[in-house]
Amino acid sequence: MIEFVQAVLLGLLIGGVYALMSSGLTLIFGVLGIVNVAQGAFLVLAAMLTWWLWHSTGIDPLLAALLLTPVMFGFGWLLYRTAIVRVRGMPASMSVLLTFGLALTIEGILNVTAGNRFRSATPSYFDESFRVGALNLPKPQVFGFLAATAVLAALYLILTRTWTGRAIRACAQNPSGAALVGVAATGTAALAFALGTATTGVGGSIMSVLYPFFPASHYDWISRLLGIIVLGGMGSMPGALVGSLVLGLAETLTATYGSLQWSTLVFYAVIVVVLLVRPQGLFGARLREDALP
């Protein structure tokens, strides 16, 4: 029984971290209609920068996130203005190809500058746990979960209470309408992309403590993240949260009671089944369009 509770708790903690990492992807898709396959690479980039900061200055990785978030924000904004904006008119697949190319480019740059070695940040608490009775709650996971909650709450507030946030949501639902009421479409789109990228600042710094990573790790992450947002509903924030928790639990429970080797299949199976049976996921909106039966 304890094992079950332990597994569930671990699953939820992991789910929280996944939620943070997938929130950016969901935001970008919801506003821009672009599946940013490079999100995993952004996470690895942020993790690498965090590691480097920690390694050279000893600053705690989670605190380093405070520095990294604006950096990633700027990076995302720049990337949008120079590259992403040019595929907005093109078919959806072109944006997937472009972002895939960006992911490879980032991986390549990291390979060249930092080398293809595993790295992880190891602050004092990296292998400690909180003990609650017979349960062990690993400290990095708990801190990560708390940080994720904080960031998601902040994101929610930004999107619902600020003018910028409302502008972003307006653009998502109706770009021309938004333009009519004074929202500058390109600028807002850039902001949305930058915001989505900024979440990887925190996500990456958490990742640097939780898991050893190397430049090619982004493949593992993007498969997980795609599974999450497909299940939750591309473009739905609550969906990303629920999807993350569900898949975090599924992953942990499969690993505990089933076979580890099949647990990765869970994500892919989810992607395929959901996209075919209920393409809008759990929470996404059904768009009015020519739906071929």
Specify whether the CB–CB gap between 60 and 173 falls below 8 A: no
For residue 150, which phi and psi values (nearest 5 degrees)? -60, -45
15-44 positions binding another protein, by CB under 8 A: 35
Q: Does 282 bind another protein (CB under 8 A)?
A: no
Beta-carbon count within 10 A of 265 CB = 11
Binds another protein (CB under 8 A): choice among 60, 264, 278, 282: 264
Instruction: Count the residues of the shown chain that bind another protein, applying the rule CB under 8 A.
Output: 85
Q: Does 132 bind another protein (CB under 8 A)?
A: no
Binds another protein (CB under 8 A): choice among 104, 179, 185, 282: 104
Binds another protein (CB under 8 A): choice among 169, 255, 283, 284: 255
Beta-carbon count within 10 A of 108 CB = 12
Specify whether the CB–CB gap between 245 and 9 falls below 8 A: no
CB of 182 to another protein, least distance (A): 25
Q: Does 5 bind another protein (CB under 8 A)?
A: no
Binds another protein (CB under 8 A): choice among 70, 115, 177, 238: 115
Binds another protein (CB under 8 A): choice among 8, 52, 88, 126: 126
Q: What is the DSSP string of 221-266?
A: HHHHHHHHHHHH-TT-HHHHHHHHHHHHHHHHHHHHHS-HHHHHHH
Q: Does 252 bind another protein (CB under 8 A)?
A: yes
Q: Does 262 bind another protein (CB under 8 A)?
A: yes
Nearest to 254 by CA among 2, 3, 22, 7: 7
CB of 194 to another protein, least distance (A): 19
Nearest to 46 by CA among 84, 26, 17, 75: 75
CB of 107 to another protein, least distance (A): 5
Distance CA 5, CA 135 (A): 8
Distance CA 60, CA 97 (A): 36
Q: Does 164 bind another protein (CB under 8 A)?
A: no
Q: Does 149 bind another protein (CB under 8 A)?
A: no
Q: Does 159 bind another protein (CB under 8 A)?
A: no
Q: Does 174 bind another protein (CB under 8 A)?
A: no
Specify whether the CB–CB gap between 85 and 194 falls below 8 A: no
Q: Does 220 bind another protein (CB under 8 A)?
A: yes
236 CB-contact burial (10 Å; exposed 0-12 / middle 13-18 / buried 19+): buried
Q: Does 156 bind another protein (CB under 8 A)?
A: no
Q: Does 60 bind another protein (CB under 8 A)?
A: no
Distance CA 9, CA 22 (A): 20
Q: Does 52 bind another protein (CB under 8 A)?
A: no
Task: Determine the interface stretch with another protein among 56-64, 149-157, 196-204, 270-278 (rule: CB under 8 A).
Answer: 270-278
Q: Does 56 bind another protein (CB under 8 A)?
A: no
Quick note: the x/- pattern for another protein over 184-213, rule CB under 8 A, is --------------------------xxxx
Nearest to 228 by CA among 58, 53, 79, 14: 14
CB of 121 to another protein, least distance (A): 11
